[in-house]
Amino acid sequence: MSQSFDARQLRETTAAESAPTPAQFRQAMLRHLQYTVGKSPQQASLFDWRMALSHTVRDYAVDPWFSATRRTWDEDRKRVYYLSMEFLIGRLLEDQAINLGLRDVMVQVLAEFGLSFDEVAEGEPDAALGNGGLGRLAACYLESMATMGCPAYGYGLRYEHGLFRQHFENGRQIETPENWLATDNPWDFTRPEAAYPVGFGGELHDHDGASIWSPRSKVLASAHDTPVVGYGGQWANTLRLWAAMPSADLFNLDRFNAGDFAAASEPEALARSLSRVLYPNDTTEGGKELRLSQEYFLTSASVQDILRRYLAAHDDLLKLPEFVAIQMNDTHPAIAGPELIRLLVDEHAVDFDTAVETATSVLGYTNHTLLPEALERWSVGLMRKVLPRHLQIIETLDTQFIALQGQAPNPVRLISNDQVSMGDLAFTTSHKVNGVSALHTELVSQELFPVHNELHPGRIVNITNGVTPRRWLKLANPSLAALITDTIGAGWESDLERLRELEPYAEDPAFRDAFGRSKRQAKEHFTGWLAAEHGIELPAEALYDAQVKRLHEYKRQLLNILWTIAHWQRIKRDPQANWVPRVKIFGGKAAPSYHMAKLIIQLINDVAEVVNNDPETRHLLRVVYPPNYGVSMAEKLIPAADLSEQISTAGMEASGTGNMKFALNGALTIGTLDGANVEIREHVGAENFFLFGLTTEQVGERRAQQGHSRAALEASQTLRDVLQAIAEGTFSPEDHHRYDGLLETMWNSDWFLVASDFEDYDRAQGEVADCYSDPEKWQRMAILNIARMGYFSSDRSIREYMSQIWDVESAL
């Protein structure tokens, strides 16, 4: 591509039309193998081939990237900036290839060299720059914004080490550092010219009424860009990840000459740690100074970059809201409000109130959790130490917010009990606040921000989560995707509501058979990988029952494993009965400091050890827990599942997105009326969903009942037998008291109502087995689930953000 090539010409061509011929693709790939990787086909390793392939696919990503960037400038379009401490991206090669219409030619050309795409692609490390739901949602949303032609940037941190690797020793989770950057990342474009100093600590000086902040240390934020191509290759956006760089001119010579060597080299130390590692907690904020510094580093570098880009084409900062929308992915970048106000006031002489108004019109805040321990509250002392100027601004915003509440007896404060509430701050400095499912948004308005909601009616809106059908169906489940395209034609990939056209085929035996075959194919693909990677052999003919998500008590993996023990005990009592063979699949990491979650992991592995080696039952029941669950494992596991476990205590799972991925791949859901389960059940039909458990209201009532857990246990012989077996050391013969703490909690507190929901869960699992014993009925329900999941595309979610919050038009 000669530099003089004008990207605009590209706009007309669709990905398909611009797809190269096998000959062109082969020539381009061999060129990269030789000149970029420096290997001949004879010498090339799988790694070399993957590098050559990635660079070849990348070339095709650059053109839509250039043209999108140019068009956005030329047409002075409004841009969306998605600020997130996490982007759980996974692998990029196949995803980008699919969106560029290159997968088929790629697979074909590789085959000519005797290479299978899967073995080449399997070498790519996951970019695991996130913990779970929030991080993966950000990745799905980036891909959907590009597919929708929404001009956007994702801003995040380029952690050297993503989420830890998990392995088990004697059933216990062991964490080891993740090292995705150990080998070249072909999707990374370094942008040394996009670098910004970020200040930390220091003092404030008053200078004729203006507050001057002189930071104690500064660290350079340097940009690394990754193109995010939309489906169809018509548009591509940028994911800009900041890396902390110690830079000479930030070395504090004065402090050094003053003999304060520690302070002098502080920037170095800080720089080395700021983008070193992702915090592995996904529900407890922990109040660590480095975490706050990471959040500010991300936010300040991003807001500086946003203002630089804006001022390159505009000079009136008060018009910022017409051209810039910033979305805060939870409170983690909530310092963006004070940072934007600081820059407008301190560096652009805008008066305070106008700066507040401008910032509020630019910012949006998405809340992803109601868990009290996950709501960030930074101590005033720490905020003053790290960000003295921002604390000053927050104090002023606090005063204004109190004034807004008039004579209210005890007004809500941004600062209370010597802590800054980042949720209240984010709400106050945003023009729109959204929850991530209808039920969750209701609770956000009623439980989390009732006063704010009163004061700012209409500020809270709901935008139910979604998932990208490109990665989670077209990429992860090629046989089902092909069946769908053969049946209703192509196009559903970017218009998922078209799946509705599958409904009549639920009544078509031929289609049901074809669906059955694609499910079996997905199972063989998963079990093949499981055997090769973990030496675990699974029976193909069984109900694959999966619960894969982060380990947390509210997600109730405990309820699942306790039921599994009860099921095992039942089979042992009556082995001749006509049991549906079942494989219980677990997957998920626990935050390293979350001991109860780690104990539940150990219990699952201890039960697996006994059940899988029980000659009486192992042909009817297996428990598998492949370690290191993440995006790439999910892509293999989810298409293979028959049953999706979404069993959280009602009112505690904000939305869930795994629930959507399973249903989209034809798994039926057993679940509570929690998060997006409620809407999934509404869309797929109550008759195609296995519902159980207390509702959110009933949870509140039951928790208020003294001794509710003991009462529930006394009412369930089945559950008591399970706890008895655990207490007797059946699953921990070498340590009978291993689960005493867990049993004690079950009998005396059970905040997550595992005992109260056990019998109803058991009832629902019985219905699952009965239904699965009628394959025709099951397949009909599964096909109707797929057909009615169109709403849960992240394209629909993004369309709602564009119209309800960002006020941005598609450029396509």
Q: Whole-angstrom distance between the N-terminal and C-terminal Cα of the chain?
A: 24
Q: Is 219 exposed, middle or buried (0-12, 13-18, 19+ CB in 10 A)?
A: buried
Residue 810 C-beta-side C-alpha neighbours within 13 Å? 16
Q: Does 84 bind ligand 26W (CB under 6 A)?
A: no
Where in 423-462 is the site for ligand 26W (CB under 6 A)?
436
Site for ligand 26W in 657-676 (CB under 6 A): 657, 675
Q: Is 678 in the site for ligand 26W (CB under 6 A)?
A: no
From the CB of 555, what's the least distance to ligand 26W, in Å? 8
User: Which residue number, 133 or 267, has a Cβ lying nearer to ligand 26W?
Assistant: 133
Name the pairing type of β-strands 203-207 and 210-214: antiparallel
Which amino acid is residue 62, in one-letter code? Answer: V
Question: Does position 547 bind ligand 26W by CB under 6 A?
Answer: no
Rank residues 369 and 477 by Cβ distance to ligand 26W and give the closer one: 369
Please name which of 489, 511, 509, 506 lies closest in space to residue 784, comparing C-alpha atoms.
Answer: 506
φ/ψ (deg, to 5) at 189 = -105, 110
Residue 282 is a binding residue for ligand 26W (CB under 6 A): yes
Q: Does 160 bind ligand 26W (CB under 6 A)?
A: no
236, β-bridge pairs = 229
Nearest distance in Å: CB 139, ligand 26W? 11
Q: How many residues does the chain have?
A: 812
Catalytic residue numbers, as ranges: 368, 549-550, 555, 657, 661
Nearer to ligand 26W, 624 or 676 (CB): 676
68, 88, 110, 654: residue in contact with ligand 26W (rule CB under 6 A): 654
| Region binding ligand 26W by CB under 6 A among candidate stretches 33-41, 177-185, 187-195, 369-377 | 369-377
State yes or no: residue 556 binds ligand 26W (CB under 6 A).
no
137 binds ligand 26W (CB under 6 A): yes
Nearest residue to ligand 26W, by Cβ distance, number only: 133
Closest CB 668 distance from ligand 26W, rounded Å:
20
DSSP secondary structure string for all residues of 710-723: HHHHHT-HHHHHHH
Please state the closest distance from residue 758 (CB atom) to ligand 26W, in A.
23
Closest CA to 84 of 306, 304, 334, 283: 334
Residue closer to ligand 26W by CB (options 132, 388) is 132
| Nearest CA among 487, 477, 485 for reference residue 524 | 477
Stretch that binds ligand 26W, among 111-119, 133-141, 266-274, 299-307 (CB under 6 A): 133-141
Name which of residues 460 to 479 contact ligand 26W (CB under 6 A): 465
The residue among 376 and 553 lying less far from ligand 26W, judged by its C-beta, is 376
Single out the residue of 133, 186, 280, 388 in contact with ligand 26W (rule: CB under 6 A): 133
Instruction: Using the rule CB under 6 A, give the single segment among 8-16, 313-321, 420-428, 648-656 that binds ligand 26W.
Output: 648-656
Helix (H), strand (E), coil (C) string for 381-414:
HHHHHHCHHHHHHHHHHHHHHHHHCCCCCCCCCC
> Per CB under 6 A, does 368 bind ligand 26W?
yes
Dihedrals phi, psi of 431, to nearest 5 degrees: -85, -20
d(CA 137, CA 130): 10
Single out the residue of 281, 547, 628, 793 in contact with ligand 26W (rule: CB under 6 A): 281
Alpha-carbon 343 to chain mean position: 31
Smallest separation (angstroms) from ligand 26W to the CB of 95:
20
Q: Which segments within 650-712 are labelled E, that is strand?
A: 668-671, 690-691
**DSSP state string for 170-234:** TTEEEEE---GGGS--TT-EEEEEEEEEEEES-EEEEETTEEEEE-SEEEEEEEEEEEEEPTTSS
Question: Residue 773, SS3?
Answer: coil
Selected from 285, 493, 642, 757, the binder of ligand 26W by CB under 6 A is 285
Residue 295 within binding range of ligand 26W, rule CB under 6 A:
no
Q: Is the dihedral of CA 285, 220, 124, 232 positive or negative?
A: positive
Residue 329 CB, shortest distance to ligand 26W, in Å, is 8
Longest CA–CA span in the chain (Å) reads: 88
Residues contacting ligand 26W: total by CB under 6 A: 22
* Token couple for 400: 């204004």
655 is an interface residue for ligand 26W by CB under 6 A: yes
What is the footprint of ligand 26W within residues 316-335 (CB under 6 A)?
Answer: 330
Residues of this chain that bind ligand 26W (CB under 6 A): 131-134, 137, 281-283, 285, 330, 368-369, 374, 376, 436, 465, 653-657, 675
